Amino acid sequence: MPQSTLSSTAVLPTSETVTARTPGVSPEGIGDVVDAGRRSGYAHLGERRLPTLGRLAAAARGAAALVGPTLWPARRGHWQPAPRAARRHAGGRLRVTAVVLEPNDLVSGSAPRSARARGMEVLYLVSGRAHLITSAPDGQVRSASELAADRVRVVGAAGGSGRSGHFLVNTGDEVAVVVRVTA
């Protein structure tokens, strides 16, 4: 088999000669690139804007600042809509609820909604001390984590049926108030 060798007189192509021979690249003919940013005629391809976790966290902090002791929900141990000022602060399609828990009281987390398969949820501790408990469908505790003051807790999906899911427990000696923002 003959081997070719590079002679000392051979000329290697330079960048000018390479670019001069290659045709210009154009996005024409590539449908996804050309149609990017245009509206589609198909409803199922429409843009659905979901709020970001940062927006949920900001809404929770803002609602917690507006939910003072005079605006705490009167009914204890049940999730209920937050005061109107806190709900207006969140804006958009965010749902703001609050719960007041007596010491050693417990409330179930959000119920699974088939319409909100990709829904997000955050919790913010306004006052007191509380723990978020996650349980398995058989009732065993999977995890227990304390809600820290001035920190937003992102809550994952709690699948299963029966009494499985998330529970919020007041573990302190005073009343605990928690704000929940869902999208």
| Three-state SS annotation for 154-169 | EECCCCCCCCCEEEEE
Q: 153, 132 in Cβ contact below 8 A?
A: yes
- Between 26 and 119, whose confidence is greater? 119
Helix (H) or strand (E) holding 89: helix 84-90
Q: SS3 for 145?
A: strand
Q: What is the pLDDT of residues 86-129, one digit of tens each?
A: 788 777 788 889 899 999 998 987 655 544 455 788 999 999 99
pLDDT in tens, 94-103: 888 989 999 9
Task: Enter the tokens of residue 148.
Answer: 């820290």
pLDDT at position 161 over 60: no
Confidence band for 34, pLDDT divided at 50, 70 and 90? low
**The two structure tokens encoding residue 160:** 């299963």
pLDDT score, position 48: 63
Give CATH superfamily name and number for 53-182: Jelly Rolls (2.60.120.10)
**Nearest residue to 82 via CA among 128, 124, 50, 116:** 124
129-157 pLDDT, tens per residue?
A: 999 988 888 888 888 899 988 889 988 75
The DSSP output letter for 44 is G
Averaged pLDDT, 22-32: 60
pTM beyond 0.75: the answer is: no
Q: Domain residue spans in the chain?
A: 53-182
pLDDT at 2: 57
